[in-house]
A = this chain, B = another copy of it.
Amino acid sequence: MKKNKFWSQAVRQLTPYIPGEQPISSNLIKLNTNENPYAPSPKVREAIISELDEKLRLYPDPDAFSLKNIIASKLNIQADQIFVGNGSDEVLAHIFYAFFKQSSPIFFPDVTYSFYKVYCSLHEIPFKQIPLADDLSINTEQYKKPNGGIIFPNPNAPTGRLLSPKIIEDLLRSNKNSVLVIDEAYIDFGGISSVPLISSYPNLLITQSFSKSRSLAGLRVGFAVGDGSLIEALDSVKNSFNSYPLDRLAIIGAMAAFGDTKYFNVTRKKIIKSREKLSLDLLDLGFTVLPSVGNFLFITHKKYDGADLTLFLRENNILIRHFDKPRIRNYLRITIGLPEQNEHLVNTIKKFTL
């Protein structure tokens, strides 16, 4: 880093998030960033083409109201309970500013989405990492202490482990003074969403993403749902940062994707089926496979080194994700691919274990 005197103190102290590799070459099997192996609904293409006219010269609707309406009707909530942004990463960044920029530390798991720590650094928020249990599950009892806020993904990433809405409601009942954020990026692959709880708990905020179950990582759309007052705070941050976070094509493409429930159900069920198959195949090879309800598996093997296997797969044109971090150094996170890609993965791992 070529830091110099022009850098603010704040920017000097940042340790940015490092996303998974996005290779330009396309002869790699990409199982490293939890993208959906299926293309988006064909209706997305149609919708975007219909928007490709002279209107591109005009600013988009700053509130993306038409998109909020579709989300509202599908989730059975109100449009003013929804905030949309340029990927759930942007939504989360604004959430940290709006609710977590306080003097008490916020809580999140020691093993979780590593961007949370980065947002804390960006917004100068104190935090405390709560260790996962030995089986890498979240023990919500440990979060029942005074805090400046709580955030975790459900299912957690990269573990894939799920908490039930009952456990979450129990936590909400004992945590009335700070915002609880449930990051549901992966909820559509077999979890039960906590969205119905937002009408009862004014401090519950739930984020979801179009990048996973809607196959639209390339379009950058995410959203949060919660009580109207929380949404107003987020609007206030958005309108102090960038009034028009979603472009016209992202808005209309996301509308088409969210509207196509049939396609959504077909593709996510295929992924769930593939996950169960891949899980069994890896168990057969002696791996420990955490029970995942995400579109990925988190696995480890007593005999093989995680970094070595990752490297071997890379040499065989398969990208997976290895986190060089405490507690999970020997684990691998593998995105569920197409059935033939998963099969090829298993066969390649077999070569490594021979």
Q: Which residues of A contact B (CB under 8 A)?
A: 1-11, 14-19, 22, 24, 30, 33, 35-40, 44-45, 48-49, 52-62, 86-87, 89-90, 93, 97-102, 118-119, 121-123, 177-179, 202-203, 211, 215-220, 228-230, 232-233, 235-250, 253
Contacts and interface: CB of A to CB of B under 8 A. Distances in A.
A239 B62 CA distance: 24
Nearest to A241: B93
Contacts of A179: 6
Nearest to A65: B24
A240 B59 contact: no
A2 to B, nearest CB: 4
A58 B20 CA distance: 12
A236 B237 CA distance: 20
A250 B89 CA distance: 18
A193 to B, nearest CB: 21
B3 A229 contact: yes
In the complex this chain forms, how many copies of it are found?
A: 2
Contacts of A86: 86, 242, 245, 247
A interface: dominant SS:
loop
Nearest to A30: B58
A181 to B, nearest CB: 11
A141 B250 CA distance: 45
A203 B7 CA distance: 10
Contact of A242 (B2, B36, B90, B177): B90
A312 to B, nearest CB: 24
A56 B102 contact: no
B59 A35 contact: yes
A210 to B, nearest CB: 10
Contacts of A238: 16
Given A59-B217, A218-B59, A11 B243 contact: no
Contacts of A203: 6
